[in-house]
Chain A
Amino acid sequence: MSALVELVDLSVTYAERGGKRRLKAVDGVSLSLARGGSAALVGESGSGKSTLARALAGLVEPEGGSLRFDGREVASLSPPERFALRRRVQLVFQDPFASLDPRLSVEELLGEPLEIHRVGDARARRARSFALLEAVGLSTQDIGRYPHEFSGGQRQRLAIARALALEPELLILDEPTSALDVSVQAQILNLLASLRERFGLAYLFITHDLSLVHQMCERVAVMYFGRVVEENDTAAFFREPLHPYSKALVALARRAADARALLVSAEAPSPFDLPAGCSFHPRCPRRAELGSRCVGERPALARLGRACAPSVACHLLDSERAR
Chain B
Amino acid sequence: MTLLQVDNLRVRYDTPRGPLWAVDQLSFKLESGEMVALVGESGSGKSTTALAILGLVPYSGGVVETGEIWYGGRNLLALDEREFRKLRASEIALVFQDASAALNPFLTIGVQLAEVLEVHRGLSRREALTESARALGDVGIPDPESRLHAYPHELSGGQRQRALIAMSLVAKPKVLIADEPTTALDPAVALTVLDLLKREREERGAGVVLVSHDLELVHATANRVHVMYAGRVIEQADAHELFEHPWHPYTAALWRARARLGGERRHRLAAVPGAPAELTALPTGCAFHPRCELATDRCRRERPDLSGLRRAETGMSLSSGRRAACFEKERVAGAHAETLEA
In the complex, which residues 162-184 of chain A have their Cβ closer than 8 Å to any Cβ of chain B?
181-184
Q: How far is the CB of A210 from chain B (nearest CB, A)?
A: 6
Q: How far is the CB of B270 from chain A (nearest CB, A)?
A: 7
Residue of A nearest to B272 (CB): A183
**Cβ of A182 and Cβ of B258 under 8 Å apart?**
yes
Q: Does B257 contact A (CB under 8 A)?
A: yes
**Cβ of A186 and Cβ of B187 under 8 Å apart?**
no
**Cβ of B269 and Cβ of A151 under 8 Å apart?**
no
- Cα distance A183–B43 in the bound complex, in angstroms: 13
- Cα distance A151–B259 in the bound complex, in angstroms: 21
Q: How far is the CB of B302 from chain A (nearest CB, A)?
A: 23
- Cα distance A260–B192 in the bound complex, in angstroms: 9
**Cβ of A211 and Cβ of B191 under 8 Å apart?**
no
Among B187, B220, B265, max chain A CB count under 10 A is at B187
What 1/0 flags go to A30-56 for Cβ under 8 Å of B?
000000000000001110000000000
Among A46, A194, A214, max chain B CB count under 10 A is at A214
**Cβ of B42 and Cβ of A211 under 8 Å apart?**
no
A212-B259, A266-B191 known; A189 vs B157 contact (CB < 8 Å) = no
- Cα distance A267–B42 in the bound complex, in angstroms: 32
- Cα distance A184–B42 in the bound complex, in angstroms: 11
**Cβ of B42 and Cβ of A181 under 8 Å apart?**
yes
- Cα distance A253–B258 in the bound complex, in angstroms: 14
Complex contacts, A238 vs chain B, CB 8 Å: 261-262
Q: Does B268 contact A (CB under 8 A)?
A: yes
- Cα distance A45–B253 in the bound complex, in angstroms: 31
Complex contacts, B254 vs chain A, CB 8 Å: 182-183
**Cβ of B259 and Cβ of A253 under 8 Å apart?**
no
In the complex, which residues 276-324 of chain B have their Cβ closer than 8 Å to any Cβ of chain A?
276, 291
- Cα distance A255–B276 in the bound complex, in angstroms: 28
Q: Does B158 contact A (CB under 8 A)?
A: yes
**Cβ of B258 and Cβ of A187 under 8 Å apart?**
no
Q: Does A2 contact B (CB under 8 A)?
A: no
In the complex, which residues 171-228 of chain B have their Cβ closer than 8 Å to any Cβ of chain A?
186-189, 191-192, 195, 213-216, 220
Residues of chain B at interface, number, CB under 8 A: 38
Interface of B is mostly: loop
Residues of chain A at interface, number, CB under 8 A: 43
**Cβ of B272 and Cβ of A186 under 8 Å apart?**
yes
Complex contacts, B267 vs chain A, CB 8 Å: 193
Residue of A nearest to B270 (CB): A186
Q: How far is the CB of B326 from chain A (nearest CB, A)?
A: 16
Residue of B nearest to A190 (CB): B268
Among B42, B214, B291, max chain A CB count under 10 A is at B42
Residue of B nearest to A238 (CB): B261
Q: How far is the CB of A178 from chain B (nearest CB, A)?
A: 9
**Cβ of A248 and Cβ of B188 under 8 Å apart?**
yes
**Cβ of A211 and Cβ of B188 under 8 Å apart?**
no
Partner of A267, one of B156, B213, B260, B276: B156
Complex contacts, B271 vs chain A, CB 8 Å: 183, 186-187, 189-190
**Cβ of A266 and Cβ of B192 under 8 Å apart?**
yes
Complex contacts, B159 vs chain A, CB 8 Å: 267
Q: How far is the CB of A323 from chain B (nearest CB, A)?
A: 31
**Cβ of A183 and Cβ of B41 under 8 Å apart?**
yes
Complex contacts, B41 vs chain A, CB 8 Å: 181-184
**Cβ of A254 and Cβ of B262 under 8 Å apart?**
yes
Q: How far is the CB of B177 from chain A (nearest CB, A)?
A: 21
- Cα distance A274–B271 in the bound complex, in angstroms: 43
**Cβ of A254 and Cβ of B261 under 8 Å apart?**
yes
Partner of A268, one of B186, B215, B261, B272: B186
Complex contacts, A105 vs chain B, CB 8 Å: none
**Cβ of B275 and Cβ of A215 under 8 Å apart?**
no
Q: Does B61 contact A (CB under 8 A)?
A: no
In the complex, which residues 232-284 of chain A have their Cβ closer than 8 Å to any Cβ of chain B?
235, 238, 248-250, 252-255, 259-260, 263, 266-270
Residue of B nearest to A43 (CB): B186
Partner of A214, one of B188, B213, B261, B270: B261
Q: How far is the CB of B80 from chain A (nearest CB, A)?
A: 37
- Cα distance A189–B272 in the bound complex, in angstroms: 12
**Cβ of B265 and Cβ of A263 under 8 Å apart?**
no
Residue of A nearest to B269 (CB): A186
Q: Does A58 contact B (CB under 8 A)?
A: no
- Cα distance A303–B182 in the bound complex, in angstroms: 35
Partner of A153, one of B253, B268, B275: B275
Residue of B nearest to A189 (CB): B269
- Cα distance A255–B215 in the bound complex, in angstroms: 13
**Cβ of B275 and Cβ of A152 under 8 Å apart?**
yes
Q: Does B273 contact A (CB under 8 A)?
A: yes
Residue of A nearest to B260 (CB): A211
**Cβ of B158 and Cβ of A267 under 8 Å apart?**
yes
What 1/0 flags go to B134-166 for Cβ under 8 Å of A?
000000000000000000000011110000000
What 1/0 flags go to A124-139 for Cβ under 8 Å of B?
0000000000000000
- 11 intermolecular pairs with C-beta atoms under 8 Å apart: A154-B275, A185-B257, A186-B269, A187-B272, A189-B271, A190-B271, A211-B259, A249-B187, A255-B216, A266-B189, A266-B191
Q: Beyond the given A187-B272, A268-B157, A268-B188, please list 15 additional residue pairs across the A-B interface where CB-CB is below 8 A.
A: A154-B275, A183-B275, A184-B276, A185-B257, A186-B272, A187-B271, A193-B267, A211-B258, A235-B265, A255-B220, A259-B191, A266-B192, A267-B159, A268-B186, A269-B156
Closest 7 CB pairs of A and B: A186-B269, A186-B271, A151-B275, A252-B187, A181-B41, A183-B272, A211-B259
Residues of B with Cβ closer than 8 Å to A? 41-42, 156-159, 186-189, 191-192, 195, 213-216, 220, 253-254, 257-262, 265-273, 275-276, 291
Residues of A with Cβ closer than 8 Å to B? 44-46, 151-154, 181-187, 189-190, 193-194, 208-212, 214-216, 235, 238, 248-250, 252-255, 259-260, 263, 266-270
